[in-house]
Amino acid sequence: MVNTPSGMKEVKEFTTRGTTTSGIVTFQLTDTGTNAGNAIFKSVMSIQPMPMLNASIPAETPRCSARALSADRKVLTIQVAQGASVVTVVGIQVAGVEKWVPDGTTVYLTVTGE
């Protein structure tokens, strides 16, 4: 059972996957999978990206955020970063530095809306 916001008539769920380039993955939320297609959603209720990367230490576990959803709800951009336990910068060790995930990192996506 899905708890829908007041006024939402038809709940749709869209699932797909993509791969990153420079920490970014772009999804076309259309009926054709291209920007020329029709938007699948009139409104978006939930965006759930999940990166898959075999991290050797917990600090390197990747995390996602929705960077942008176009006004026409056709294009969703997700950014994916990961931490590094220790990075040396000009001879000084710095902990907790973020970096983009490697190119080709798979991101699974589920979008729910109307």
**Each residue of 11-61: pLDDT tens digit?**
999 999 999 999 999 999 999 999 999 999 999 999 999 999 888 888 788
Q: Specify if 4 maps to a domain.
A: no
What are the two backbone dihedrals, phi and then psi, of residue 52, each rounded to the nearest 5 degrees?
Answer: -125, 115
Q: How confident is the model over 52-74, as a mean pLDDT? A: 90
> Three-class SS of residue 59?
helix
Q: Specify if 46 maps to a domain.
A: yes
Q: Specify if 6 maps to a domain.
A: no
pLDDT over threshold 60, residue 2: no
Q: Which of the two residues, 2 and 75, has the higher pLDDT score?
A: 75
∠ CA 64-83-77, nearest 5°, is 25
Q: Specify if 7 maps to a domain.
A: no
Q: Provide the pLDDT for residue 58.
A: 81
pLDDT over threshold 90, residue 91: no
Q: Provide the pLDDT for residue 87.
A: 59
Total domains in the fold of the chain: 1
Q: Specify if 34 maps to a domain.
A: yes
Q: Specify if 20 maps to a domain.
A: yes
**Can you give the residue range of the structural domain that contains 109?**
12-113
As a whole number of angstroms, the distance between CA 98 and CA 17 comes to 23
Mean pLDDT, rounded, of the chain: 87
